[in-house]
A and B are shown apart, each in its own frame.
Chain A
Amino acid sequence: MSMVLFDVPGPKARVRHKIMAVVGVAALVAALAYVVMRFIATDQFSSRRLDWINYKQIQLSLVEAIGNTLSAFAVGAVLALLFGAVFAAARLSDHAWVRGPAAVVVEIFRAIPLVVMMFFFYYGLPVAGVKLSAFTAVVVSLMLYNGSVLAEIFRAGINSLPKGQSEAAYALGMRKTQVMTLVLLPQALRSMMPTIISQLVVLLKDTALGFLITFEELLRWGTRIGGDAVNFGRPMISVMIVVALIYIGLCLLLTWFANYLEKRNRRSKKVIHTDDDEAGQTQVAESSAVMGAGSVL
Chain B
Amino acid sequence: MRVRTLAAVLLTGALALTACGKEGSPTDTAAPAGVFDVAADVKVDGSPTFEKAKSRGSLVVGVKEDQPGLGYKDPTTNKYSGFDVDIARLISAKLGFDPEKIQFKTIQSAAREQALINGDVDYYVGTYTINAGRKEKVAFAGPYFVAGQDLLVKADNTDITGPETLKGKKVCSATGSTPIKQIRDKGYTEPENILEFQGYSQCVTKLLDGEVDAVTTDDAILKGYAAAEEGKLKVVGKTFSNEPYGIGLPKDDKALRDKVNDILQAAMDDGAWQKIYDGTLGKSGSSAEKPTIDRY
The answer on direct contact between A and B (beta carbons under 8 Å) is yes
**Which A residues between 113 and 169 are near B, CB-CB below 8 angstroms?**
122-123, 126, 131-133
Residues in B with CB closer than 8 Å to A230 are: 27, 29, 68, 72, 74, 228
In the bound complex, how far is the Cα of B199 from the Cα of A228, in angstroms?
Answer: 13
Whether B133 is near chain A, meaning CB under 8 Å from some CB there, is no
Task: Determine whether the beta carbon of B114 is less than 8 Å from that of A122.
Answer: yes
Residues in B with CB closer than 8 Å to A231 are: 25-27, 74-76
Task: Determine whether the beta carbon of B76 is less than 8 Å from that of A224.
Answer: no
Whether B78 is near chain A, meaning CB under 8 Å from some CB there, is yes
Task: Determine whether the beta carbon of B108 is less than 8 Å from that of A214.
Answer: yes
| Complex: chain B residue closest to A227, CB-CB | B201
Residues in A with CB closer than 8 Å to B75 are: 52, 55, 57-58, 61, 224-225, 228, 231
Residues in A with CB closer than 8 Å to B68 are: 230
| Complex: chain A residue closest to B230, CB-CB | A229
Residues in B with CB closer than 8 Å to A55 are: 21-23, 26, 75-76
**What is the minimal beta-carbon distance from A132 to any residue of chain B, in angstroms?**
8
Task: Determine whether the beta carbon of A126 is less than 8 Å from that of B21.
Answer: no
Residues in B with CB closer than 8 Å to A61 are: 75, 78
Task: Determine whether the beta carbon of A123 is less than 8 Å from that of B114.
Answer: yes
Task: Determine whether the beta carbon of B229 is less than 8 Å from that of A229.
Answer: yes
Whether B19 is near chain A, meaning CB under 8 Å from some CB there, is yes
Residues in B with CB closer than 8 Å to A274 are: none
Task: Determine whether the beta carbon of A63 is less than 8 Å from that of B16.
Answer: yes
Task: Determine whether the beta carbon of A56 is less than 8 Å from that of B21.
Answer: yes
- With A54-B22, A230-B27 as known contacts, state yes or no: A126 contacts B77, CB within 8 Å: no
**What is the minimal beta-carbon distance from B10 to any residue of chain A, in angstroms?**
13
Whether B205 is near chain A, meaning CB under 8 Å from some CB there, is yes
Residues in A with CB closer than 8 Å to B198 are: 214
Residues in A with CB closer than 8 Å to B58 are: none
**Which A residues between 227 and 276 are near B, CB-CB below 8 angstroms?**
227-232, 234, 236, 253, 256, 260
Residue interface mask A205-239, B partner, CB < 8 A = 1: 00000000110000000011101111110101000
Task: Determine whether the beta carbon of A57 is less than 8 Å from that of B23.
Answer: yes
Task: Determine whether the beta carbon of B107 is less than 8 Å from that of A224.
Answer: no
| Complex: chain B residue closest to A53, CB-CB | B21
Whether B3 is near chain A, meaning CB under 8 Å from some CB there, is no
For chain B, which range describes its interface: under 10, 10 to 19, 20 to 34, or 35 or more residues?
Answer: 35 or more
In the bound complex, how far is the Cα of B16 from the Cα of A267, in angstroms?
Answer: 37
In the bound complex, how far is the Cα of B5 from the Cα of A256, in angstroms?
Answer: 9
Residues in A with CB closer than 8 Å to B202 are: 223, 227
Residues in A with CB closer than 8 Å to B65 are: 224
Task: Determine whether the beta carbon of B205 is less than 8 Å from that of A234.
Answer: yes
**Which B residues between 13 and 46 are near A, CB-CB below 8 angstroms?**
16, 19-23, 25-27, 29
Residue of B26, B75, B77, B228 with most partner-chain A CB within 10 A: B75
In the bound complex, how far is the Cα of B20 from the Cα of A151, in angstroms?
Answer: 46
Residues in B with CB closer than 8 Å to A228 are: 75
**Which A residues between 13 and 67 are near B, CB-CB below 8 angstroms?**
51-52, 54-59, 61, 63
Whether B269 is near chain A, meaning CB under 8 Å from some CB there, is no
Residue of A56, A63, A214, A230 with most partner-chain B CB within 10 A: A230
In the bound complex, how far is the Cα of B118 from the Cα of A31, in angstroms?
Answer: 50
Residues in B with CB closer than 8 Å to A63 are: 16
Residues in A with CB closer than 8 Å to B114 are: 122-123, 126
Whether B252 is near chain A, meaning CB under 8 Å from some CB there, is no
**What is the minimal beta-carbon distance from B242 to any residue of chain A, in angstroms?**
28
In the bound complex, how far is the Cα of B228 from the Cα of A297, in angstroms?
Answer: 37
Whether B66 is near chain A, meaning CB under 8 Å from some CB there, is yes
Whether B117 is near chain A, meaning CB under 8 Å from some CB there, is yes
**What is the minimal beta-carbon distance from B116 to any residue of chain A, in angstroms?**
10
| Complex: chain B residue closest to A134, CB-CB | B111
**What is the minimal beta-carbon distance from A85 to any residue of chain B, in angstroms?**
29
Task: Determine whether the beta carbon of B16 is less than 8 Å from that of A57.
Answer: no
- With A133-B118, A227-B202, A231-B76 as known contacts, state yes or no: A56 contacts B25, CB within 8 Å: no
Residues in B with CB closer than 8 Å to A122 are: 111, 114
**Which B residues between 62 and 76 are near A, CB-CB below 8 angstroms?**
65-66, 68, 72, 74-76
Residues in A with CB closer than 8 Å to B108 are: 214
**What is the minimal beta-carbon distance from B208 to any residue of chain A, in angstroms?**
8
**Which A residues between 60 and 87 are near B, CB-CB below 8 angstroms?**
61, 63
**Which B residues between 172 and 226 are near A, CB-CB below 8 angstroms?**
198, 201-202, 204-205
Residues in A with CB closer than 8 Å to B107 are: 214
Whether B119 is near chain A, meaning CB under 8 Å from some CB there, is yes
In the bound complex, how far is the Cα of B204 from the Cα of A224, in angstroms?
Answer: 13
Task: Determine whether the beta carbon of A229 is less than 8 Å from that of B21.
Answer: no
Whether B120 is near chain A, meaning CB under 8 Å from some CB there, is yes
Instruction: A56-B22, A229-B204, A253-B5 are known; give 10 further A-B pairs, CB within 8 A.
Output: A51-B26, A57-B23, A57-B76, A59-B19, A131-B117, A227-B66, A230-B68, A230-B228, A231-B76, A236-B205
**18 pairs of residues in contact across A and B, judged by CB atoms under 8 Å:** A54-B21, A54-B22, A55-B75, A56-B19, A59-B16, A59-B21, A61-B78, A122-B114, A126-B117, A131-B117, A131-B119, A133-B118, A133-B120, A214-B111, A227-B205, A230-B228, A231-B75, A231-B76
